[in-house]
Amino acid sequence: MKKAIIIGSGIGGIATALRLNAKGIDVYVFEKNKYPGGKLSTFKMGEFRFDAGPSLFTMPHYVDELFELYGVNPRIYFNYKRKRIACKYFWDDGKIFNAFGDTDKFIDECIDTFKIKRETITKYIKKAKKKYDLTEGIFLKKSLNKLSSFLNYDTLKALFRINLFQINESLNSVNKKELKNDYLVQFYNRFATYNGSSPYKTPGMMTLIQHLESHYGTYIPEGGMNEITKSLYKLAEDKGVKFFFNSDVSEIIIKDDVAKGIRIGHKIHNADYVISNSDVYNTYKNLLKDEYEHKSLEQERSSSAVIYYWGINKKFNNLDLHNIFFSKDYKKEFEFIFDKKLISNDPTIYVNITSKDVKNDAPSSGENWFVMINSPYDNGQDWIKIKNELKKIIIQKIKGVLDEDISNFIVEEKIYTPVELENNTYSHKGSLYGISSNNKFSAFLRHPNFLSNISNLYFCGGSVHPGGGIPLCLLSAKIVSDLIKK
């Protein structure tokens, strides 16, 4: 049997392990932590359980697909439900918007809340779908570094509609032109943060991001987001994938420009294929020992986050699973993040509360709050000072909207800054998505899933093509699997 070694057991790494194992390859996964999942992991504080990382689950068919590879009913391992309301949005002036998962209800709510014409919002949604349909097969499901990815009918069809993609305009300018409603513009601008970018810099092409959520819906796994990791890890173990935890890989062994295996301490593990699910920057600097270079490492890093995990001993019935408290000046917020490398004094606040759907995640009288603020990557800022000042701002802002001082109800607390995010996951400078998409060529600048100058070395996960977030990490695994022949 051919043997493959995967460095890192993030969601991309586990998915790659499953796909290669299904091809008859002997797979070994080495993980530096004592648990699988990377960012998609969990922890407890007192009576409260928290998902440490990604909190948005969409396109669940990509998870189901991994079970179906083995002819296994996914529901034996993994279950989830679709959310009626994808997210609740709050503005300081009292405006509240329920983003319904059903498209027709969503459109009706837009018309009722923002007083816009039905034609305006339906035209915008249909245009985003066209962009996605034209590019999905090219940019998301294939390697952009293979000529064969472009020599096909899909590419020609997309090229004939090149003006539709609006790559020479920013997402914000497209939204302002097509929506003409400040609330709705801010709502759709937010989707730039899904890949760690600024809506004032990322191209208008990115209107397609919201299509993933609005078309496919938002879901919550039974037991929380970590159930994705647990179920896929269990499937992989059941099918013979070998996992080794507390195993920090120190080097990828390259001989005559061919990947031969890895080193852990003084021991070398040989393999026919090596796949890095570690952050690509860490892979080059620490595992390839700076002996190789790639232009993607020079690109602007994506945004990071400051995250407050709060055990709250009170229930808030006016909140849902996903909640957004918008800033008054969105442009200023992103200027601070990407230009000043700071956080503005009026940031947008994201609050995720899994106990709304996963009842054992908090006591019956309380809730588990995952509170996230988009931030710059770590550039030597005083994060201790920032996180302390930011906490006061968050509490004050939420008090202004909910008319409740939540500081009186916080009984458990843990705080992650970009420094902790880098330490925990090896994400360079704490950036959540590798490089940003603030460039119209960013899809081509992102690190590929293979190298032409090193054979048998592959890359998966959120820091490489096609990008960050659970669906794209799972697609990166499929691309790698397709590149490695049976």
- Could you read off the pLDDT of 358-385 as tens digits, one per residue? 999 999 999 999 999 999 999 999 999 9
pLDDT the model gives residue 298: 79
Question: Within the chain, which residue ranges are assigned CATH 3.50.50.60?
Answer: 3-37+224-294+447-483
Tens of pLDDT, residues 237-264: 999 999 999 999 999 999 999 999 999 9
349-352 and 367-375 beta bridge pairing: antiparallel
Q: What angle do CA 74, 76, 80 make, to 5 degrees?
A: 65
Whether 147 shows a pLDDT value over 50: the answer reads no
Q: What is the pLDDT confidence band of residue 154, given thresholds at 50, 70 and 90?
A: low
Tens of pLDDT, residues 296-319: 787 889 999 999 999 999 999 999
pLDDT the model gives residue 439: 75
Lowest mean pLDDT among 78-82, 111-115, 154-158: 154-158
Whether 149 shows a pLDDT value over 70: the answer reads no
pTM score: 0.92
pLDDT the model gives residue 156: 46
Q: Give me the mean pLDDT over the 463-483 stretch.
A: 93
Lowest mean pLDDT among 101-110, 158-167, 293-302: 158-167
Whether 267 shows a pLDDT value over 60: the answer reads yes
User: 235 vs 194, which has greater pLDDT?
Assistant: 235
Q: What is the pLDDT confidence band of residue 160, given thresholds at 50, 70 and 90?
A: very low
Q: How far apart are CA 388 and CA 333, in angstroms?
A: 18
pLDDT the model gives residue 254: 97
- Listing DSSP states for 85-135 in one string gives EEEEEE-TTS-EEEEESSHHHHHHHHHHHH---HHHHHHHHHHHHHHHHHH
pLDDT the model gives residue 146: 54
Q: Give me the mean pLDDT over the 95-106 stretch.
A: 96
Q: Give me the mean pLDDT over the 256-285 stretch.
A: 96
pLDDT the model gives residue 69: 97
Lowest mean pLDDT among 18-22, 164-168, 320-324: 164-168
Q: Which residue has the tokens 């020479």?
A: 168
Q: HSE of 333 in the Cβ direction (CA atoms, 13 Å)?
A: 21
Mean per-residue pLDDT over the chain, rounded: 91
pLDDT the model gives residue 296: 75
Residue 25 tokens read as 């390859």
Whether 150 shows a pLDDT value over 50: the answer reads no
pLDDT the model gives residue 440: 66
Tens of pLDDT, residues 420-453: 999 988 899 999 988 887 776 665 678 999 998 9
pLDDT the model gives residue 19: 98
Q: How far apart are CA 136 and CA 470, in angstroms?
A: 16
- For 351, phi then psi, to 5°, come to -120, 120
Residues 283, 299 contacting (CB under 8 angstroms): no
CATH 3.50.50.60 fits 3-37+224-294+447-483, yes or no: yes
- For 384, phi then psi, to 5°, come to -65, -45
pLDDT the model gives residue 486: 56
Q: How far apart are CA 137 and CA 285, in angstroms?
A: 32
Q: Which of 424, 483, 417, 421 is nearest to 456 (CA)?
A: 483
Whether 88 shows a pLDDT value over 70: the answer reads yes
Highest mean pLDDT, choosing among 144-153, 200-209, 323-332: 323-332
pLDDT the model gives residue 178: 94
Whether 215 shows a pLDDT value over 90: the answer reads no
pLDDT the model gives residue 132: 76
Q: Give me the mean pLDDT over the 346-366 stretch.
A: 97
Whether 139 shows a pLDDT value over 70: the answer reads no
Tens of pLDDT, residues 127-136: 888 887 777 6
Residues 204, 96 contacting (CB under 8 angstroms): no
